[in-house]
Structure 1
Amino acid sequence: MEQKEKKNKNKKQKHQHPNHQTTKPSSDFSFKPSSDVKGLRFGGQFIVKSFTIRRARPLELLRLLSFPPTNPKPTNNNTTTTATNNKNKLPFPSTTAFLPTNFTILAHHAWHTLTLGLGTKKSKVLLFVFETETMKAAVDRVWPPEIPLGEVNKRLIRGLNGCEMARFKFRKGCITFYVYAVRQVGSLGFSCADDLRAILQSVVELKDFLDHTAMLAMPNQRTISFAPPVAMAH
């Protein structure tokens, strides 16, 4: 009987997908101190650690997640009030994202070519979901707008003293998504759990990215640089 139970346990462990813990997120996220949470892994080559990521604009995050933004047309009655409401209606106001820079995209391709395919073509995207907008704003003032991959663990993850994190990882073709839920040490629950669930579900449903030029999942988007709309309603 004991041998059968051991075999059953081993079978369950073997068939468990590494993303199963994130495909069905629950209210009991596994939070750890920022000093203990698992960071990012990248190649040992110096050039790979030098690849940079930059802070994404809110609309870039929505496009990356294929999440439709709420963008009602403004009326002429109270333009100022409507514009403020539209800004507040953007999803995930407590989330900060980092995307690979154009340099990183080009360097990945060049490194892969120079090493005859032995280099890496894996890009990394980071999303930090904070428990409050106030916490996000405070951290954004400290974090640099652009940072090398080699400094991410030290400055963006280990550098958050007095914080706890829950980590989620997804591989989507040439892009690996790292999602971190961040709260103060001693906090109960996670006040932005709904946003976190929506982000995790969006990442789970994304199709694999086949190349770096398709990063924002838009047919006419040839680079990851954000291009604002030409015409805007006033």
Structure 2
Amino acid sequence: MEDKGKSNKKNNNKKQKHQHPNDQTTRPTSSSSDIAFKPTSDVKGLKFGGQFIVKSFTIRRARPLELLKLLSFPPINKTTTTTTNTNNNNSSSSSKVAFPSTTSFLPTNFTILAHHAWHTLTLGLGTKKSKVVLFVFESESMKLSVDRIWPPEIPLGEVNKKLIRGLGSGCEMARFKFRKGCITFYVYAVRRTGNTGFSRADDLRTILQSVVALNDFLDHTAMLAMPNQRSINYCNTTPPVAMAH
């Protein structure tokens, strides 16, 4: 009986060791101290399973508005500043960008179509899952410096080597993974090595909460609904004036 008890304890310990604190998180972290940062050489990257052809599918850098639509996050209202002079009135408007230190990569049109073609050719055995990758940097300046280096479009198979490992030994990352139907979200928090805490913890928490609240994506061909792939899981209240066929 004692041997069985010991073996059960060993099995439980082994299961606990395999559970990464930031992997498949369902409850967003409440403070930056809860985030487990690791060197870029140790942090987990994207997983592809046995679908090696998926590595050749591409993702592209998203625009800020596309990120908001992806997360079903309401856009930030424009703040209008009015300056009045004696001779004329000059009004200038400026819009605040949400998540200014976040860079996101979405599946390209080719990837979306290739996923469906691959699923059809393999008689339903090929994967239909796309990947979305978000990097939340600790500062806007860090994001801008990295954006100059990273390509605007990259094959999924090169993300681990060129984006995650490519940041070098001077950075640390925390990884979060969420499966939402046919789309898997990978969220990475990035900071300089040696820094304590995470200055963009609020943005990170908001993004994680938004991803958790999303419904499963049953069919990601909805990403092709608008010209230039502007919309993901987004319903425009204004009907189009005309449509070209």
Per the alignment, residue 135 of structure 1 pairs with 142
Contact kept in structure 1, 2:24 and 2:179, CA below 8 Å: no
Distance 1:18 1:182 in 2: 13
Secondary structure at 2:172's aligned position in 1? strand
Per the alignment, residue 243 of structure 2 pairs with none
Per the alignment, residue 61 of structure 1 pairs with 67
Per the alignment, residue 126 of structure 1 pairs with 133
Per the alignment, residue 206 of structure 2 pairs with 198
- Structure 1 residues 209 and 45 mapped into 2: Cα distance closer, same or farther (>3 Å)? closer
Q: Deviations over 1:185-221 (max 9, x none)?
A: 00110000000000000000000000012349xxxx4
Q: Which amino acid aligns with 1:196?
A: L
Per the alignment, residue 152 of structure 1 pairs with 159
Query: Could you tell me how far 1:27 is from its partner in structure 2?
Result: 2.3
TM-score, structure 1 length as denominator? Answer: 0.82
Distance 2:207 2:51 in 1: 32
- Structure 1 residues 18 and 70 mapped into 2: Cα distance closer, same or farther (>3 Å)? closer
Distance 1:46 1:214 in 2: 25
Per the alignment, residue 43 of structure 2 pairs with 37
The two structures, once aligned, show a CA RMSD in angstroms of 3.2
Q: Is 1:189 aligned with 2:189? A: no
Query: Could you tell me how far 1:91 is from its partner in structure 2?
Result: 1.3
Q: Deviations over 1:18-66 (max 9, x none)?
A: 8674513032210000011000011445531110000000000000001
Contact kept in structure 1, 2:171 and 2:191, CA below 8 Å: yes
Query: Could you tell me how far 1:110 is from its partner in structure 2?
Result: 0.3
Distance 1:210 1:164 in 2: 34
- Structure 1 residues 173 and 21 mapped into 2: Cα distance closer, same or farther (>3 Å)? closer
Q: Is 1:24 aligned with 2:41? A: no
Secondary structure at 1:23's aligned position in 2? coil
Distance 1:39 1:79 in 2: 47
Distance 1:190 1:131 in 2: 6
Query: Could you tell me how far 1:69 is from its partner in structure 2?
Result: 1.1
Moved more, 23-32 or 186-195: 23-32
- Structure 1 residues 110 and 204 mapped into 2: Cα distance closer, same or farther (>3 Å)? same
TM-score, structure 2 length as denominator? Answer: 0.79
Q: Is 1:226 aligned with 2:195? A: no
Per the alignment, residue 71 of structure 1 pairs with 77
- Structure 1 residues 182 and 18 mapped into 2: Cα distance closer, same or farther (>3 Å)? closer
Moved more, 121-130 or 207-216: 207-216
Unaligned runs of 5+ in 1: none
Contact kept in structure 1, 2:24 and 2:177, CA below 8 Å: no
Secondary structure at 1:151's aligned position in 2? helix
Which 4+ stretches in 1 moved above 2 angstroms?
9-13, 16-22, 43-47, 71-80, 213-216, 221-224
- Structure 1 residues 19 and 153 mapped into 2: Cα distance closer, same or farther (>3 Å)? closer
Higher strand share: 2
Q: Work out the number of aligned pairs and report it.
A: 220
Q: Which entry has the higher C-alpha Rg, 1 or 2?
A: 2
